[in-house]
Structure 1
Amino acid sequence: MALTKKQIERILAVSRYYYQDDLSQQEIARKMDLSRPTVSKSLQLARDNHIVTINIHDPFEDTGVMREQLRTKYQLKDVVIAEQANYDEQGILEQLGAVTADYLDEIVTDGVTIGINWGRTMEAVANHLHASHNRNVRLVQLKGSVTNSSEDNFSADITQKFNRAFHTQASLLPLPIVFSDARIKQLAMTDQFIKQVVTQGDAADIALYTVGTTRPTAMLFQSGYLDDQQIHQLQTDAVGDVLSHYITATGALAAPDLDQRTVSIPLERLSKKRYAILVAGGQAKLQPIHAALVGHHANVLIVDQAVAKALLRL
């Protein structure tokens, strides 16, 4: 049916109140001095005349395609995309933690060794772990866990929750993340106990970790091991870190001298793992995730929907 100018103006006003301002039909009727049936009819006319069109985005419909595209783009073994309800950082962490715990249920088998990291993302994973029925699972820390900062890195809590879930006792790496001198680090690494833990980490079947950013609030920048000049240089040369190894936009080491003082499994050994699982999400981590993937520092990616789409656009 042909609509008059006055009808179109009323339909537009009703539609904006309903779809943009989220007012109820009753509220619109009171606001515009219309009857409730008139408001309802206006909304129907808006759809019938294509003034308003409704598109339903089904995340389940797109996820399979995105997973395959990401697998191909970054030459990955597997991709898991967490359902995303909003862009809240804590909400994203919760979703990532839940799907990662489910993924571990699928891949952990009797006798495997899992290498773990610390930080907020790993804490979210630890919070969602399920009691495992597998036997003789071993856990090992992949990098140093001692910091000079009062900020909690969640290392103790993560380790405790992983121990409980997998009925084991993790091998700890009770060393600073970064030594002040590479020679002191090398001396510490000759300790028999430390050598055993490092060997376990190198041989782990599964490595579970995230990426860090170069934002001022980054946990590694708050750890007390880097001075202002070093932090500024990293913010200039690097996009983030993988297990405390700072990397450039192409995934190369950004600070080789610093890396010589860093206690962490070498990046080249991650790509050799059966499952090198990078768990990360949120727009702030987009560039570090991309850099880690183009540098082939992971073969499994667990990520949120928004970042998955952004990665495909890069």
Structure 2
Amino acid sequence: MPEISHEELLARIGRAYYLDNQSKVEISNEHGISRFQVARFLDEARARGIVHIEIRTPGRAAAIDTEALAAALGIRRIVVVATVGDDFQQRDLQAHAVADELMREARTGMTVGISWSRTLDLAARHVPELPKCNIVQLAGALPVPGGGNPLELIQRLGRVGGGRTWPMWAPLVVDSAATATGLRRQPEIADAMRKADSLDLAVVAIGAWAPNLSTVWDRVDNAVRRDGVDKGAVAECSGRLLAGDGTAVVAELDARILSVTVEQLQRTPKVIAVAQGAVRADAVRACIAAGIVHTLVMDESLAMALQEFSAGHGVSA
């Protein structure tokens, strides 16, 4: 048999498991790999969008009035997807919605900035076409298990749209402020960071400044985490920390980050933000207060938490 690509192998394994109901043992025997590799390849296929699983929960989304909630929160648009039990499925559902919003908002000649998260990495894979626009990487690399990397994301969107790209050839977090300052002087990095001054559209992910709710939190040491908490941080967006009232937190982390600034996002006319889970409700409200969210893509559990908060504080939603 002719040799197949890794992507084709992922598709075949996904088809055998999900459509043909073959067991992992049967698939491992057929392909000459271990059943543990089969499990890992199935996870990878879902994370990369090669396998897409959609589960709809009838009736639940009807309880959320997205227009009223958007008005209560003071933003332009809300998109709500179902809350499902599987983390890969959840990210994929939200990634599809983010991709749809990006294609909906992008226009020829725009400068579009996109940060990085596992959801945004998936979203880029679900964008089949874009008008010709410039694509700017808004945050340095922060590799995580089950995810791609920002450079691949930017290159993928650049190929789809056919415009110029401004990659940021740097990590998101470095070990010292001096290292970050030196990297910011590098011409390619400086160009990308300057290009973020003139964004027409940005796409970002919102994390909470707490364990397991921010990929940045999980990659820095306890001293950096504590410093952010002590200074009132509740939200993290592209490595930038925000307090509950939306003010930028100037913490030790801020000097070690290579990414778009809060001020640059505040000047961007349209920002699409994605967040997941009721536990990120405070973080989402902080980012909205900061003025860096115009369209919010989220799951039902987060939407319900925001709706209940608005109702409890006398705001109709």
The reply to whether TM is greater than 0.5 is yes
Kept in 1, the 8 Å contact 2:211–2:217? The answer is yes
> 1:234 aligns to what?
228
263, 287, 294: which one aligns with 2:258 = 263
Displacement of 1:165 = 2.4
Conserved in 2, the CA contact under 8 Å of 1:122 and 1:210? yes
Asked if the contact 1:118/1:153 (under 8 Å) is kept, the reply is: no
SS in 2 for 1:210: strand
Partner in structure 1 of residue 78 of structure 2: 79
Shift of 1:99: 1.5
Aligned partner letter, 2:141? S
How many angstroms apart in 1 are the aligned matches of 2:148 and 2:289? 27
Structure 2 length-normalised TM: 0.70
Give, in angstroms, the shift of residue 61 of structure 1: 4.4
Matches within 5 A, 1:192-207: 192-207=187-202
CA distance in 2, matches of 1:205, 1:248: 25
Q: What's 1:161 paired with?
A: 156
Please say if residues 210 and 234 of structure 2, whose CA atoms lie closer than 8 Å, have aligned partners that are also in contact: no
Residue aligning to 2:126: 128
Matched residue, 1:145: 141
1:169-248 alignment runs, 5 A limit: 169-217=164-212, 218-223=214-219, 226-235=220-229, 237-248=232-243
| Residue ranges of structure 1 left out of the alignment (5+ in a row) | 1-55
For residue 166 of structure 2, give the secondary structure of its aligned residue in structure 1.
Answer: coil
Change (3 A) 1:162 1:146: same
Alpha-carbon shift at residue 175 of structure 1 (Å)? 1.9
What is the CA-CA distance between 1:210 and the residue it aligns to? Answer: 0.4
**1:226-266 CA distances to partner (integer Å, 9 max, x unpaired)?**
32222234355422301101222222233434313321211
User: 1:194-239: CA deviations, max 9, x gaps?
Assistant: 322112122121110101233434421343xx32222234355422
Counterpart secondary structure, 1:139: strand
Deviates further, 246-255 or 137-146: 246-255
* Aligned residue pairs, count: 251
Amino acid at match of 1:70: L
Cα-to-partner distance string for 1:155-179 (whole Å, 9 max, x where unaligned): 2442343233223452111123234
Deviation at 1:85, TM superposition (A): 5.5
AA of the residue aligned to 2:140: G
Which residue among 81, 95, 98 is the counterpart of 2:96? 98
Cα pair 1:210 1:278 within 8 Å, conserved: yes
Query: Which secondary structure state, in structure 2, belongs to the residue aligned with residue 219 of structure 1?
Result: coil
- CA spacing shift, 1:230–1:301, aligned 2, 3 Å: same
User: Bigger CA drift: 299-308 or 192-201?
Assistant: 192-201
Q: Distance in 1 between matches of 2:162 and 2:284?
A: 31
Which consecutive unaligned segments of at least 5 residues does structure 2 have? Answer: 1-56, 310-317
Partner Cα distance (1:67, 1:150) in 2:
33
Larger radius of gyration: 1
CA contact (8 A) 1:131 1:164 kept: no
Moved over 4 A (4+): 59-63, 149-153
Counterparts of 2:76 and 2:148, CA distance in 1: 29
The answer (yes or no) to whether the contact 1:153–1:219 under 8 Å persists in 2 is no
Check conservation: 2:83, 2:301, Cα contact below 8 A: no
- What's the RMSD between the two structures over aligned residues? 2.7
The verdict on how the C-alpha distance between 1:123 and 1:192 changes in structure 2, with shifts beyond 3 A counting, is closer
**CA–CA distance in 2 between the matches of 1:119 and 1:85?**
19
Cα distance in structure 2, aligned partners of 1:81 and 1:165: 26
Q: Would the aligned equivalents of 1:146 and 1:174 in 2 still touch at CA under 8 Å? A: no
Query: How far does residue 115 in structure 1 lie from its aligned partner after superposition?
Result: 0.4
Per the alignment, in what secondary structure is the counterpart of residue 239 of structure 1? strand
Matched letter for residue 229 of structure 1: A
Letter of the 1:75 counterpart = G
TM-score (norm 1): 0.70
